[in-house]
Chain A
Amino acid sequence: MRGFRAAVCVVVLAASASAGEIPRAERRSGSDFMSRETRAMQDDDTANPGMLWVLEGESLWNKKTGDAGRACAECHGDARASMKGVAARHPAFDATRGRPVTLEQRVNVCRTERQKAPPLAYESRELLALTAYLARQSRGLPIDVATDQRTQPFLDAGRATFYRRQGQLNLACSQCHDDNWGRQLAGNVVPQAHPTGYPLYRLEWQSLGSLQRRLRNCLIGIRAEPYEYGAAELVDLELFLMWRARGMTFEAPAVRP
């Protein structure tokens, strides 16, 4: 069996010598690769498990918190209006920090600086709920991360990570997601890896989770040391992936296998 697997591995890698970037017109969301049943779960807000987090996010949005005793709503009003498009534009450049930050990091900046509350832990229920609620307000809008000379170095760093071989399996993201999308990997179809629906309900997790959780899963899958949540490598990769998906429709909170 070992010889067979190694041979197959070599075939896969050789075939993927360099198919290159996916042409813009051929880009498809992960939902296109799902079964009809999983797509139905996503498309129905009364059946999408991600909506449980969106609902909780809504109540957190309106809840006073921190030493400042302030709710998000006090500064930002109705999220349906004020937060429209925000998730589809993140990661976004933060002038104070001199680098792009994710939506999660942006929420924590507000919490610590404006609400005088402790930051929410990555993948905590509250942070997932708030980001799910925010992401929901961008549903249907095109992904639109701003790129200019300030974000360029970070975009380039993210791109380099995407094309770099990593881990014990010595695979680059591009080898599966640029060169072999649409093919099967252990019974699942390989998607193109566009983050069109984060945070999303992943059936494998039986929970809602962030893009960084998914990226760490992939890194673990290729037997690489996963970067810590919030690490620059992950934020830069998120920026690159969102840029790679620019113009595609945002569909959070999505459902994925």
Chain B
Amino acid sequence: MSRNTSRREFLLTAGGAAAGIGLASVIAVEPARATPATMQEAIRKVVGPARVNPGRVKLELPPLVENGNTVPLTVKVESPMTAADHVKALHLFNEKNPQPDVASFRFGPRAGRASVSTRIRLADTQTVIAVCELSDGSFWSASVNVVVTLAACLEDA
């Protein structure tokens, strides 16, 4: 209930600046919520003890989205995708949704290209991280910060 009242308060605020200011304090907190720490834990679970190097992964997300329910995302890695040298998997994580995992995509040499597009949900302004696993056992990552704005007129009374 508090979530809806808070959102309604926004109706009276005319100004794009309001979107950035105070968003974190207004969004209702569900009891379970990912944090940067749980996100790192989720990444560890997938990656194991290996080091994750920044680079090689291109993560494309709009910097500002009109609605967090459907955020278009493309993630790709430049790779010859041969049997000897290919991307085995791409994993997506987030920082502030109730759960840190978003999706895992598995590839092989038959993929041709290590590239996936999909649509994700973001509950709040936050960082999205993509981690890729190469056939040589190395891990690489990229991150993007996305500002999520709220719809002005909601349905719930």
Contact = CB atoms under 8 A, between A and B. Distances in A.
B53 interface: no
Contacts of A220: 153-157
Contacts of B13: 5, 8, 186
A218 interface: yes
Interface stretch (B15-23, B43-51, B136-144): B15-23
B153 A187 contact: no
Contact of B152 (A35, A36, A185): A185
A186 B62 contact: no
Interface in A1-60: 1, 5-6, 8-9, 11-12, 34-38, 40-41
A203 interface: yes
A188 B67 CA distance: 9
B155 A205 contact: yes
Given A203-B67, A257-B67, A257-B151, A184 B16 contact: yes
Given A34-B66, A41-B72, A203-B66, A6 B155 contact: no
B14 A38 contact: no
A149 interface: no
B124 to A, nearest CB: 12
A187 B19 contact: yes
B120 interface: no
Q: In the complex, which of the residues A5, A34, A186 has the most CB atoms of chain B within 10 Å of its own CB atom?
A: A186
A5 B12 contact: yes
B111 interface: no
Nearest to A185: B152
B155 A217 contact: yes
Interface in A178-212: 180, 183-188, 190, 203-206
Contacts, number: 95
A69 interface: no
Interface in B122-157: 149-157
A221 interface: yes
Contact of B16 (A1, A5, A41, A187): A187
Contacts of B152: 185-188, 190, 221
Given A8-B12, A205-B155, A257 B150 contact: no
B70 interface: yes
A256 B50 CA distance: 42
B30 interface: no
B11 interface: yes
B67 A217 contact: no
A169 interface: yes
Contact of A38 (B66, B149, B150, B155): B66
Given A220-B157, A221-B11, A188 B149 contact: yes
Interface of A: 1, 5-6, 8-9, 11-12, 34-38, 40-41, 169, 180, 183-188, 190, 203-206, 213, 216-218, 220-223, 257
Given A204-B154, A204-B155, A221-B8, 12 more contacts: A5-B12, A12-B14, A35-B65, A37-B65, A185-B11, A186-B18, A187-B19, A187-B149, A187-B152, A203-B70, A205-B155, A217-B155
16 contacts: A5-B9, A5-B12, A5-B13, A184-B15, A186-B7, A186-B11, A187-B18, A204-B155, A213-B155, A217-B155, A220-B153, A220-B155, A221-B152, A221-B153, A222-B11, A223-B8
